[in-house]
A = this chain, B = another copy of it.
Amino acid sequence: MGERMERVAIIGASMTQFGQREEWICELLVEAGVACLEDGGVDPAAIEHLYVSNMASGEFEGQTGIMNALAHDLDLLPAYAQRVDQTSSSGGAGMYAAWQSVASGASEMTLLVGGEKMTHKTTAESTDVIASITHPCEYKHGLTLPSFAGLTARHYLERFDAPRESLAKVAVKNHKNGVDNPHAQFQKEVDLETVLESPVIADPLRLYDFCPITDGSAALLFCPESVAKEYTDEYAVVSGIAGATDTHVVHERPDPTIMAGVVESGAAAYEMSGYGPEDIDVAELHDMFTILEFLQMEGLGFADQGEAWMHVEEGRTDRESELPINTSGGLKSKGHPLGASGVAQGVEIYEQLVGEAGPRQVDAEVGLCCNVGGFGNCVITTIMEAAA
């Protein structure tokens, strides 16, 4: 395909309050979209493409066509509008779609809005919608995503002789980070005992090893770097972005502690960016379950296989450490409105790179986010850097 064209920049970001919201999906998307346009100082008429990351507005609310509704409500017409679905990684897939729209020359200004409205359903109903991504051969045996997480956690702890407490410390760390995120669903610390004594969900994992069910929306603005410079000096650049798919049937995977989608998408994103794990200053990982933070740390080369737990035990992923992970609070404390989560990861990394993270601010030139769909079925890794 010849030379890569100019780099793709991110010039604006927003997220709504995450948590239990009264608004329906379209209103949540509008709220994030308006705030993002304002943050980027971009006129609605400048938007050429709109992508909406959302897994299941049809199942959750009986409403489809939400990209069309959003284009209309934000006054973007006749902008192109499309919905991106990759289950829980729809947000990351939306970043990839937005990147492609700009990199291909199809759009000079792309708005990405991710969102999901879930809390009006019961936990059982929501879990069932999410579980509908699993293969029938596993689903019929009761294997939902929490079940897979429990099985994998047990395997990991036993095989690598990791203490149960190390998993709990992921939750403690991310809740601590979430205290400083005004948009997080839970802005309160939890202590180790609270996590370890919470109700069992999928043994050995307990309530506080799981992210909550959440309503919310997040947004980002993408454009060519030359266009970005017309708006601001403070922007981020997408240095590398790639996605990969793992087996749809989880039990076909050769090693349950290796998430091939993470490894493959990470390797491709590193190669595209020219950076390696040692260059990453801050990362947002998909901690839907605490065990996933370990698996992603290892798959992305932040720790050797079976050793991520030691990094967490030693505080090497705390906010003040060498590689802060989930400074936003992660899915664990910020919440996990499916289609919004990958976008919100991007929002956090963007804000860290442009110095807008407030009390969560760390010293970072290069950041990474990893968004996981299903139980690692589809994964997007994105690497961003601050504008030089």
- Are A93 and B82 closer than 8 Å at their CB atoms? yes
Chain B nearest Cβ from A147, distance in angstroms: 16
**Residue A56, interface by CB 8 Å:** yes
| Cα distance, A242 to B48, chains bound together (Å) | 11
| Cα distance, A237 to B221, chains bound together (Å) | 31
Contacts of A132 in B (CB 8 A): 58, 62-65
**Residue A353, interface by CB 8 Å:** no
Contacts of A79 in B (CB 8 A): 244-245
Partner of A245, one of B71, B129, B261: B71
Interface residues on A, range: 35 or more
**Residue A97, interface by CB 8 Å:** yes
**Residue A143, interface by CB 8 Å:** no
- Are B1 and A78 closer than 8 Å at their CB atoms? no
| Cα distance, A133 to B26, chains bound together (Å) | 12
- Are B134 and A65 closer than 8 Å at their CB atoms? yes
Partner of A248, one of B1, B65, B260: B65
- Are A246 and B77 closer than 8 Å at their CB atoms? yes
- Are A85 and B86 closer than 8 Å at their CB atoms? no
Q: Among the interface residues A245, A260, A265, which one has the most CB atoms of the partner chain B within 10 A?
A: A245
**Residue A41, interface by CB 8 Å:** no
- Are A86 and B86 closer than 8 Å at their CB atoms? no
**Residue A59, interface by CB 8 Å:** yes
**Residue A106, interface by CB 8 Å:** yes
**Residue A73, interface by CB 8 Å:** yes
Q: Among the interface residues A56, A68, A76, A134, which one has the most CB atoms of the partner chain B within 10 A?
A: A68
- Are B106 and A68 closer than 8 Å at their CB atoms? no
- Are A261 and B104 closer than 8 Å at their CB atoms? no
Q: Which residues of A contact B (CB under 8 A)?
A: 1-2, 4-6, 50, 55-56, 58-59, 62-65, 67-69, 71-73, 76-87, 93, 96-97, 99-106, 108, 129, 132-135, 224, 242-249, 260-261, 264-265, 373-374, 377-378
Pick 6 A–B contacts, CB within 8 A, sort by A: A1-B105, A64-B133, A72-B248, A82-B97, A82-B378, A85-B85
